[in-house]
Amino acid sequence: MSDMERLHRIKYMIQQRKCVPIDDFLDELEISKATFKRDLEYLRSRLKASIVYDRFLNGYKFEFPDQIDKIEMPGLWFSKKEATALVLMQHLLSSLDQSGLIGPHIEPLTAIIDGILGQSETSAKELRKRIKVLGMGSRKNSLDNFSEVGAALLKRNRLIIKYYAKGKDEETEREISPQRLIYYRENWYLDAYCHMRNDLRSFAVDGIRSAVLTNSKAQEVPDKECHEHFAESYGIFSGKATQRAKLRFTPEHARWVAGEHWHGQQVGSFDKEGYYNLEFDFNQDPELVMDILKHGSGVEVIGPASLKSKVKAELEKAIKTYATK
C-alpha cells in the first residue's frame, strides 16, 4: 500500500465510522504508531483535515464533518511534479475566468495542491508569483449568460437569445442550437445552429444580452460538418471559403510569420530572396484585413484584388489621419 493510499484509507475509516480508536488504524493498515502519527500530521497540515482526538470516545474523528468533502480529490493523488503542473493549469484557467464561474469550483482543488507542495522551493505561492498571463485583446465585458450557455451545451437544449452584433450595431432575437464553445484570441465564442438563418453561425458570448434555456432539444450538427464549416474561412468568421489570399512578407517579418498559424489549411514557402509567401482560403475579410495591417510595410497583398483594395484603402485613411495632425 502506497503512502497516498494509506492516507485515503485513514480518511475513509473516520468518515465511515465517525470515531476510530488508534489500535484499529494500526491493525487494519499494518503500520506502527509512529507512521500513523506522521500520516495524521500530513492530513492535518497539508490537506487541512480537521481530525481531532476525542477523549470520551477514545478515538479520532472529524471536528467539522460538514467539511469532509473539501479535503478529498476522489481517486486522484498527485506527486509534486503533477501538482506543479496543476498549479500552472489553474493559473491559466484563472486568467480565462473573467466572470468568476470557474473559481469557486476549483478552490478546494487549489487548497489541496497547495498542501501537497507545502513550503518547498516549488511552493504554489512562489509559482504563481513567477508566472504572469497577459491578455492583449481580451474584452472586459460581463459574461452574464455564460452559465445558461454552458447548461444548454450540456443538456443539448435550445436557447432563445437577444444578440447584439457590434459590426452591424443591431440587436436581434433568435433561437439557436448550441454546438460548441470556442476560446479565440482572448474571447469566448459560441458556435451554434441559428434557426432564424437556417445555418451555422458564430456568436460572441459577450454579445449575448439575454439567454433563456428552452425545453426543446437542440438540432445536432455532425462534428465533421461543424468543423468543415468553420475551418474553411479565416479567423472567427464562418462560411464556405470563396476566395484565396496570397500574401508576401519581407525577410524581416518572415522570421516571425513563418512560425505563425494563420489558417488551418495555410501553405507557406520562402523564395530565393528570403521573402515568405503565404496562401490560404477565406470567406469574410474584416479580421484578415486587421491582421495584415499589423505588419504595415512588412507585407504585400498579392491577391485577390478586392482584398488588396481594402488594405490599400485603410492605409490611405491612416495617411490622411496623420497628415492632418
Across residues 167-185, what is the average pLDDT?
Answer: 90
91 and 46 within one domain: no
Give the residue numbers spanning the domain of 123: 80-130
Q: Tens digits of per-residue pLDDT, 278-323?
A: 999 888 888 899 999 999 999 999 999 999 999 999 999 999 998 8
pLDDT of residue 74: 43
251 and 202 within one domain: no
Which secondary structure element, helix H or strand E, spans residue 189, and what is its range?
Answer: strand 187-194
Query: Does residue 235 lie in a domain region?
Result: no
313 and 248 within one domain: yes
Query: Does residue 231 lie in a domain region?
Result: no
Question: Which of 18-27, 86-95, 141-150, 185-194 shows the lowest mean pLDDT across its residues?
Answer: 86-95
Query: Does residue 254 lie in a domain region?
Result: yes
203 and 265 within one domain: no
pLDDT of residue 182: 85
Query: Does residue 238 lie in a domain region?
Result: no
Q: What is the DSSP letter of 233?
A: S
249 and 181 within one domain: no
Query: Does residue 226 lie in a domain region?
Result: no
pLDDT of residue 265: 84
Question: Which of 28-32, 51-55, 233-237 shows the lowest mean pLDDT across its residues?
Answer: 233-237
Across residues 173-193, what is the average pLDDT?
Answer: 89
Chain centre to alpha carbon of residue 19: 42
Across residues 93-108, what is the average pLDDT?
Answer: 61
pLDDT of residue 50: 86
Query: Does residue 151 lie in a domain region?
Result: yes
Residues facing 217 on adjacent strands: 157
pLDDT of residue 119: 45
Domain count, the chain: 4
pLDDT at 141 over 60: no
Query: Under a CB-based contact definition with an 8 Å cutoff, are residues 243 and 306 in contact?
Result: yes
Query: Does residue 314 lie in a domain region?
Result: yes
